[in-house]
């Protein structure tokens, strides 16, 4: 994920600035503020700004005046209670803003989460970079035969080489045609003074979905955790999961107590339906229980057995 000299200089300049404030700051998050954390081949995630910390969650829950006199252990206990019982509004008091560089097809998945403020790089005004996402060989998989949204076995040999060649060639060819239609080079200079060039808002439609875009994405902690619970899950598409895992690490720096509760109750937990709970009670009582006797579908039963390690 190489940055240009100008991009790196901009980041270095932002990181050198110091501001006096009475607002709460989090040293562990300040360490990575503005830094470009690499994702995929050309992407990144940067924390641009944030508001609040673990104490802000507790303060909102207690509606108190200061940071309070409670011990950290008691604060963590309250945060775990809030997470366990799905009291979400105290988590909404914390906000974070990211700068993300990502492939367009990942952005189109991501934008389905409509609980954030988003401002995307506009190809109506600017020329997109000649950068495309090309999967690493271990992520080049065939369509799953049992899951319409999933991947199957990894492609190998000649088949894999052919697919990679198609992805690279198509992306490069389409970008070349994009530049030709614009009649502009990537630096904005005109190629042929005798031609007008197609409008940028039209020329962009020829680009492939693996071209990179960028946006600023701001959300509150509750909605961030909801996003991560879906997109950092093992069943999520690899590419968006790669971004989610990096963002999950930023929450660990930012709100460690809330992160721990989230990992325990959301990422590491399993919600039981009324039928599943009754089935577990019957099992603990020594009864032999089946999907049929529990009144559960085969899929529900498999998920329950998997969660129970049986």
Q: Give the whole-angstrom CA distance, residue 274 versus residue 295.
A: 11
Give catalytic status of residue 231 as yes or no.
yes
Residue 208 has pLDDT above 70, yes or no: yes
Q: Which residue has the higher pLDDT, 66 or 119?
A: 119
What mean pLDDT comes out for the span 87-104? 97
Domain segments of the chain as ranges = 5-133+210-267, 274-307
- Count the Cβ atoms, other than its own, within 10 Å of residue 266: 18
Residue 6 has pLDDT above 90, yes or no: no
Q: Give the whole-angstrom CA distance, residue 96 versus residue 286.
A: 49
Q: Give the whole-angstrom CA distance, residue 23 versus residue 151.
A: 46
Task: Please provide the average confidence, as pLDDT, over all residues in the chain.
Answer: 91
Q: Where are the beta strands (DSSP E) in the chain?
A: 37-39, 43-51, 95-103, 117-120, 141-143, 151-154, 212-220
Residue 1 has pLDDT above 70, yes or no: no
Tell me the pLDDT band of 64, cut-offs 50, 70 and 90.
low
Owner of token pair 């950290």: 72
Tell me the pLDDT band of 146, cut-offs 50, 70 and 90.
low
Quick one: pLDDT at residue 218?
Answer: 98
Q: What is the dihedral sign for C-alpha 95, 101, 105, 108?
A: positive
103 contacts 210 by C-beta, under 8 angstroms: yes
Considering the candidates 231, 241, 253, 266, report the single residue annotated as catalytic. Answer: 231
Counting residues of the chain whose pLDDT is more than 70, the rounded percentage is 93
Kindly tell me the burial class for residue 156, based on how many C-beta atoms sit within 10 Å of its own C-beta (0-12, 13-18, 19 or more): exposed
User: Under CATH, to which class is 5-133+210-267 assigned?
Assistant: alpha beta
Please tell me the pTM assigned to this model.
0.90
Most confident of 6-10, 95-99, 141-145: 95-99
265 contacts 276 by C-beta, under 8 angstroms: no
Q: Which residue has the higher pLDDT, 185 or 236?
A: 236
**pLDDT tens-place string over residues 16-51:** 888 888 889 999 999 999 999 999 999 999 999 999
Tell me the pLDDT band of 291, cut-offs 50, 70 and 90.
very high
**pLDDT tens-place string over residues 124-137:** 888 999 999 999 98
Listed as own residue / partner, the contacts of 164-169 with beta carbons closer than 8 Å and 24 or more positions apart are 164/134, 164/135, 164/137, 164/140, 167/132, 167/134, 167/135, 167/210, 168/132, 168/134
């Amino acid at each position: 994920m190489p940055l240009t000299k100008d991009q790196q200089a901009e980041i270095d300049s932002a990181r050198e600035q110091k501001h006096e404030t009475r607002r709460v700051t989090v040293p562990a998050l300040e360490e990575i503020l503005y830094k470009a954390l690499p994702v995929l081949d050309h992407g990144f995630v940067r924390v641009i700004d944030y508001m609040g910390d673990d104490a802000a969650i507790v303060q909102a829950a207690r509606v108190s005046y200061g940071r309070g006199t409670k011990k950290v252990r008691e604060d963590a206990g309250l945060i775990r209670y809030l997470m366990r019982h799905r009291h979400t509004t105290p988590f909404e008091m914390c906000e974070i803003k990211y700068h993300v560089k990502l492939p367009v097809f990942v952005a189109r998945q991501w934008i389905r989460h409509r609980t954030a403020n988003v401002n995307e790089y506009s190809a109506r005004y600017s020329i997109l970079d000649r950068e495309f996402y090309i999967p690493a060989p271990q992520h080049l998989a065939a369509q799953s035969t049992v899951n319409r949204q999933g991947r199957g076995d990894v492609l190998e040999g000649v088949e894999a080489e052919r697919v990679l060649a198609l992805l690279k060639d198509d992306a490069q060819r389409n970008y070349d045609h994009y530049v030709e239609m614009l009649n502009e080079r990537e630096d904005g200079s005109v190629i042929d003074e005798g031609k007008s060039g197609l409008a940028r808002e039209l020329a962009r439609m020829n680009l492939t979905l693996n071209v990179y875009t960028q946006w600023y994405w701001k959300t509150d902690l509750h909605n961030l955790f909801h996003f991560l619970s879906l997109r950092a899950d093992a069943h999520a598409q690899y590419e968006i999961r790669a971004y989610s895992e990096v963002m999950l690490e930023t929450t660990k720096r930012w709100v460690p107590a809330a992160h721990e509760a989230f990992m325990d109750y959301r990422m590491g937990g399993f919600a039981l339906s009324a039928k599943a709970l009754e089935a577990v009670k019957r099992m603990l009582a020594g009864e032999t229980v089946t999907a049929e006797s529990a009144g559960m579908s085969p899929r529900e039963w498999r998920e329950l057995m998997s969660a129970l390690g049986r």
